[in-house]
Amino acid sequence: MDITQAQYTNVLGTDVKASVKATIDGQVMYVPLDLFNRHYAEILRQVEAGELTIEEAD
Amino acid sequence: MALSKIRSDSLEDTAIHGNRNLTINGAMQIFQRATAATAATGYSTADRWWIGETTDGAYTSEKSTDNPFETGSSLKLQVTTADTSLGTTQVARFFQRIEGQNLQHLLYGTSSAKTLTLSFWVKSNKTGTYSILLRKVDTTPYHFIHSYTISNANTWEKKVITITPTAGSTSFITASAGTIDNDNDYGFELAFNLAQGSQYAIGTSNTWSSDTNTYGLNGQVNWMDSTSNNFYLTEVQLEVGSEPTPFEHEDYSTTLRKCQRYYFRTTGSSTGYGNLATVSRIGNTLYRGIVEFPVTMRSRPSFSSSGSFQTLDSGFTFSSISGGDGASFDSHGVQVTMTSNGSAGQSTLLRQAADASAALIYDAEL
């Protein structure tokens, strides 16, 4: 899974993290923070391996 | 005539009951993503089937009308770039993962673990010995390899493989480490091996192994070795029992619903202007709507969109579409956010913009 960009999004009007907006295999995706979601699991794996950084929300 | 007695064998395991097939889309009917794809690795064509390779070659996948009964469909794979000399870790394979909570009746991890039977129809121009892998991933991972032979080129052949919990005189599956977690993650991975590098082609047929490098059969063919090579597969059925039963044909909508638990894309309209959601203004430039899923998805899905969209009211300026703010990410529905300049409280429709393929996509695959 090729992930080239990742940034948190927040619940509207709050600082609560809601999802990760990521470019995965060339496709922009909004990935829920759910360990059973395969995209989120891969994002966490790449972060743990030092291969990816998740930017804070705008 | 009134029924005065229910035959006891109709209630027993010896009778053929419905919902036997542990795999989904074994008849290769459902292709929500695309009916053909080039060398992409991942979920690209047939629903529920992950297709890919790591060789120096490439192959395509597509829905084919070629099948053993000339009435259905099959998955066709075709080598487009050959690799005649595999690296040690290079593989070509495709698989389906099965939710652990759908496998609890197999009683894995106990002395009562059930025997399984895998049956399928296969055809290829390349004869020889192939293999399947059944990978049990929870607790302690165990890998089961079994060979099968394609004997006659370009001829449909039915294959039957029995998977006993003690295959190879092992006790992995009947001990507690054989347990499959009762959750919505995957408990099985059923793979069809097309080519396996030497690091992984170490399995012995009809044997469970605790070596997690065991992905393929020692001595199996390298299907990737020629651009002439094709591979057709259909009527895949994995079921409890030591004998295969006839393939369980489902109506199209039943299989589609099963697939949509893992992947759902809105279908829109062939006119190119299909309505996708009703959205209402909730902020200065924010509109949101709910897209109800046909079935509860396996997990909170990832959201993406493909194609061109617009709002029905031409006075609105459509700018972007996103997956909502996450509070809506659940397995029952998701909000769509877009930027526009409507009036407070105003509602409109999100629809395709002269693009019949435009879709909202929800992915909860394993």
Mind listing the pLDDT tens digit for each residue in B150-206? 999 999 999 999 999 999 999 999 999 999 999 999 999 999 999 999 999 999 999
Tokens 């027993």 locate to B12
Question: Are the C-beta atoms of B232 and B62 separated by less than 8 Å?
Answer: no
User: What burial class does residue B344 get, using C-beta atoms within 10 Å of its C-beta: 0-12 exposed, 13-18 middle, 19+ buried?
Assistant: exposed
* Confidence bin at B2 (pLDDT 50/70/90): low
Mind listing the pLDDT tens digit for each residue in B311-353? 887 666 677 787 765 555 566 666 677 666 667 777 888 889 9
Nearest to B295 by CA among B16, B21, B24, B18: B24
Q: What is the largest CA-CA distance in chain B?
A: 72
As for the ipTM of the complex, it is 0.95
- Residues in chain A with CB shorter than 8 Å from the CB of B329 are 18-19, 30, 32, 34
* Whether the model pTM is above 0.90: yes
Q: Is B56 on the interface with A (CB under 8 A)?
A: no
How many A/B residue pairs have CB atoms within 8 Å?
74
Euclidean distance between CA atoms B342 and B349, whole angstroms: 12
User: Which of B326, B329, B366 is the closest to A38 by Cβ?
Assistant: B366
Mind listing the pLDDT tens digit for each residue in B204-220? 999 999 999 999 999 99
Q: State the pLDDT at residue B164.
A: 98
Task: Determine whether the interchain pair A11/B326 forms a contact, defined as Cβ–Cβ distance below 8 Å.
Answer: yes
Mind listing the pLDDT tens digit for each residue in B45-89? 999 999 999 999 999 999 999 999 977 999 999 999 999 999 999
Percent of chain B past pLDDT 90, that is, above it, reads 74
Residue B116 pLDDT > 60, yes or no? yes
Question: Are the C-beta atoms of A17 and A33 separated by less than 8 Å?
Answer: yes
Architecture of the domain whose range is B10-250: Sandwich (2.60)
Residue B8 pLDDT > 60, yes or no? no
Q: State the pLDDT at residue A21.
A: 93
Q: State the pLDDT at residue B289.
A: 81
Once rounded to an integer, what is the mean pLDDT over residues B298-323? 81
- Give me the residue spans of the domains in chain B: 10-250, 263-363
Question: Are the C-beta atoms of B124 and B153 separated by less than 8 Å?
Answer: yes
Task: Determine whether the interchain pair B323/A10 forms a contact, defined as Cβ–Cβ distance below 8 Å.
Answer: no
Euclidean distance between CA atoms B262 and B257, whole angstroms: 9
- Rounded to a whole number, what is the distance in Å from the CA of B333 to chain A's nearest CA? 13
Percent of chain B past pLDDT 70, that is, above it, reads 89
**Which residue type is seen at B328?**
S
Question: Are the C-beta atoms of A43 and A20 separated by less than 8 Å?
Answer: yes
Residue B10 pLDDT > 50, yes or no? no
Q: Is A36 on the interface with B (CB under 8 A)?
A: yes
Which residues of chain A fall below pLDDT 50? none
* Confidence bin at B280 (pLDDT 50/70/90): confident
Task: Determine whether the interchain pair A37/B286 forms a contact, defined as Cβ–Cβ distance below 8 Å.
Answer: no
Q: Which residue has the higher pLDDT, B6 or A14?
A: A14
Task: Determine whether the interchain pair A39/B363 forms a contact, defined as Cβ–Cβ distance below 8 Å.
Answer: yes
Task: Determine whether the interchain pair A9/B304 forms a contact, defined as Cβ–Cβ distance below 8 Å.
Answer: no
Lookup: tokens for B272: 């190119």
